[in-house]
Amino acid sequence: MRKHNTQPLSDVVQQYLKSLGLDKKLKEVKLINYWETLIGKTIAKATTDIYIANGIMYISLQSSVIRKELSMIKTELVKRMNEHAGETIIKDIVLK
């Protein structure tokens, strides 16, 4: 006998993660993994560390030239990261 309140497994997992408060953290991890796709492999190779804390994405770079270039397009990077997430996760980017 089949129950009438069936839901797709992906919806159930998403609801479960949300109830545990892990859905935002999962999106943050996905955004960190999206970094290389967004900026390209060449610039990603100069990236030494990425993490997100309190809505701010911290990116450590080996090259001051790349840091300067990225600082000029920070607003666009924030916009594209949030579009990829489907909601506002990143408020600002700090380049170190």
The tens digit of pLDDT for each residue in 2-47 reads 667 788 888 888 788 778 778 888 899 999 999 999 999 999 999 9
Residue 6 placed within a domain: no
Residue 5 placed within a domain: no
- Letter for the amino acid at 90? I
The number of domains in the chain is 1
Distance CA 84, CA 82 (A): 5
Convert the pLDDT of each residue in 70-88 to its tens digit.
999 999 999 999 999 999 9
Look up the pTM and report it: 0.81
Domain interval for residue 29: 24-95
Helix axes 23-39, 74-85, angle to 10 degrees: 130
Distance CA 78, CA 88 (A): 9
Q: What CATH number does the domain containing 50 carry? A: 3.30.70
**Burial (CB count within 10 angstroms: exposed 0-12, middle 13-18, buried 19+), residue 59:** buried
Which segments within 1-96 are labelled E, that is strand? 47-53, 56-61, 92-95
Residue 9 placed within a domain: no
Residue 8 placed within a domain: no
Residue 1 placed within a domain: no
